[in-house]
């Protein structure tokens, strides 16, 4: 293999017609949403803000589920850690929101490391059950440890995001901060995906046997990608707390798991853009369907079913078929 061949791989962004049309389309859509949200009214800002926070959450979950191929039904636990952590630190102890965000991310990562170490020995359904239990336990704690979390009453008076003298004092300013953090999160995920580490994770999803035989420490990498997903979930939880100013146990309940799974599979799991597409579409659908009145939920579910049947690899997969990456 010491040959002097200098053939290089085709540029991964080239398409049939030379331009990466899919990426351009997605970029234009993203810009359109950002621009629209800054001209829209308060309600739209809230909906888009939630979509962006979910997009961040799903980007992390996608790393663990889409790339590393493991199941977690309990990521809401880490969103709760982030949300309550930020709420308590900023409202009760007057910690800077930006500092609280980073602290809770670190804490959630640490918890994921400790919890993940024994849990990730499980596989498939067993791992799913164990992580589901993790979510339930966190939910119960957030209800019953009232001294800390104020239980069902919820936690209010959480200040908006900010650092030092700069505070995002309007919803639109908050949204801008969320967009910036989401962009950072997506860039980080994309960099991780196309790295030695990310390739190894995707290899684990393909075949643990073969990954191990190539010298990849399977257990350690699964654990690291679980921690990554937890850190993203924690950040999403913190952003939610600051964006709304109020959290309660229900916010981080099982509904969050269902919602994020819908987003992942509908958008296209295992891709960078998929979770974003899913988060936006699933957040918008109920609003679009509002005109159906009583049949709103029925219409929503029918559309979901149709997408899952006709685009089994999600909307991003559908888009890939229409605007493929490369020749051949």
Partner 1 sequence: MTMLDIRDITKRFGGLVANDSIAFTVEAGQIFAVIGPNGAGKTTLFNMVAGTFPPSEGEVAFDGAVISGRSVAEIAQSGLVRTYQLVQLFKQMTVAENVMVGFHRVTTGGVFSALVRPPGVRRQEREIREKTAEILEFVGLSHRADVTADLLPYGEQRLLEVARALAAGPKLLLLDEPAAGLNTEETAELARVVRKVNENGVTIMLIEHDMGLVMQIAHRIAVLDFGRKIAEGTPEEIRAHPEVIAAYLGGTEGYDD
Report, in Å, the least distance between residue 218 CB and partner 1. 7
Residue of 13, 156, 195, 297 that binds partner 1 (CB under 8 A): 195
The nearer residue to partner 1, 149 or 271, going by C-beta atoms, is 271
Contact present, 177 and 168 (Cβ < 8 Å) = yes
Q: Does 21 bind partner 1 (CB under 8 A)?
A: no
The nearer residue to partner 1, 19 or 305, going by C-beta atoms, is 19
Stretch near partner 1 under the rule CB under 8 A, chosen from 101-109, 144-152, 200-208, 282-290: 200-208
Residue of 160, 212, 245, 317 that binds partner 1 (CB under 8 A): 212
Q: Does 17 bind partner 1 (CB under 8 A)?
A: no
Q: Does 309 bind partner 1 (CB under 8 A)?
A: no
The nearer residue to partner 1, 151 or 212, going by C-beta atoms, is 212
Residue of 17, 41, 124, 196 that binds partner 1 (CB under 8 A): 196
Count residues contacting partner 1 (CB under 8 A)? 40
Stretch near partner 1 under the rule CB under 8 A, chosen from 24-32, 52-60, 172-180, 320-328: 320-328
Residues with Cβ < 8 Å from 91, sequence gap 6 or more?
Answer: 155, 157, 158, 159
The nearer residue to partner 1, 96 or 325, going by C-beta atoms, is 325
The nearer residue to partner 1, 29 or 190, going by C-beta atoms, is 190
Residue of 144, 146, 207, 297 that binds partner 1 (CB under 8 A): 207
Burial of 172 per CB tally in 10 Å (0-12, 13-18, 19+): middle
Residue of 121, 123, 191, 321 that binds partner 1 (CB under 8 A): 191
Report, in Å, the least distance between residue 217 CB and partner 1. 5
65 backbone dihedrals φ, ψ, rounded to 5°: -90, -45
Cα–Cα distance for residue pair 257/194, rounded to 1 Å: 27
- 3-state SS, the chain, equals CCCCCCCCCCCCCCCCCCCCHHHHHHHHHHHHHHHHHHHCCHHHHHHHHHHHHHHHHHHHHHHHHHHCCCCCCCCHHHHHHHHHHHHHHHHHCCCCHHHHHHHHHHHHHHHHHHHHHHHCCCCHHHHHHHHHHHHHHHHHHHHHCHHHHCHHHCEECCCCCEECCEECCCHHHHHHHHHHHHHHHHHHHHHHHCCHHHHHHHHHHHCHHHHHHCCCCHHHHHHHHHHHHHHHHHHHHHHHHHHHCEECHHHHCHHHHHHHHHHHHHHCCCCCHHHHHHHHHHHHHHHHHHHHHHHHHHHHHHHHHHHHHHCCCHHHHHHHHHCCCCCC
Report, in Å, the least distance between residue 60 CB and partner 1. 13
Residue of 102, 133, 173, 188 that binds partner 1 (CB under 8 A): 188
Report, in Å, the least distance between residue 199 CB and partner 1. 5
* Strand 162-163, strand 166-167: pairing: antiparallel
Residue of 224, 244, 279, 307 that binds partner 1 (CB under 8 A): 224
Tokens 């600051």 correspond to what residue?
242
Residue of 213, 293, 294, 310 that binds partner 1 (CB under 8 A): 213
Q: Does 264 bind partner 1 (CB under 8 A)?
A: no
Q: Does 5 bind partner 1 (CB under 8 A)?
A: yes
Report, in Å, the least distance between residue 279 CB and partner 1. 22
**Residues lying near partner 1 in the complex (CB under 8 A):** 1-3, 5-10, 12, 188, 191-192, 195-200, 202-203, 205-207, 209-218, 224, 228, 270, 325-326, 328
């Amino acid at each position: 293999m010491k040959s002097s061949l200098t053939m290089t791989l085709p540029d991964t962004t080239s398409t049939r017609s030379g331009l990466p049309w899919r990426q351009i389309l997605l970029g234009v859509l993203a810009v359109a949403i950002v621009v629209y949200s800054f001209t829209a009214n308060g309600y739209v800002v809230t909906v888009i803000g939630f979509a962006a926070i979910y997009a961040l959450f799903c980007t992390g979950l996608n790393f663990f589920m889409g790339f590393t191929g493991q199941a977690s039904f309990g990521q809401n636990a880490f969103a709760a850690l982030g949300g309550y952590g930020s709420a308590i630190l900023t409202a009760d102890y007057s910690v800077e929101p930006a500092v609280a965000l980073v602290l809770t991310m670190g804490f959630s990562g640490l918890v994921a490391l400790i919890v993940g170490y024994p849990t990730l020995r499980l596989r498939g359904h067993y791992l799913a059950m164990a992580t589901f239990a993790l979510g339930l336990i966190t939910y119960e704690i957030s209800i019953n440890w009232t001294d800390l979390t104020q239980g069902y009453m919820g936690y209010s008076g959480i200040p908006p995001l900010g650092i030092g003298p700069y505070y995002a004092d309007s919803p639109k300013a908050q949204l801008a901060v969320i967009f910036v953090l989401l962009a950072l999160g997506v860039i980080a995920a994309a960099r991780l995906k196309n790295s030695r580490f990310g390739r190894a994770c995707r290899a684990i999803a393909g075949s643990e046997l073969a990954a191990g035989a190539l010298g990849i420490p399977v257990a350690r990498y699964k654990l690291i990608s679980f921690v990554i997903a937890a850190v993203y979930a924690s950040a999403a939880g913190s952003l939610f707390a600051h964006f709304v100013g109020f959290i309660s146990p229900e916010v981080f309940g099982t509904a969050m798991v269902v919602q994020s799974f819908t987003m992942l599979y509908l958008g296209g799991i295992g891709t960078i853009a998929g979770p974003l597409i899913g988060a936006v579409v699933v957040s918008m659908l109920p609003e679009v369907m509002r005109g159906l009145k009583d049949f709103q939920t029925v219409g929503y579910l029918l559309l979901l079913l149709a997408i899952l049947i006709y685009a089994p690899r999600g909307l991003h997969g559908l888009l890939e078929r229409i605007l493929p990456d490369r020749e051949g």
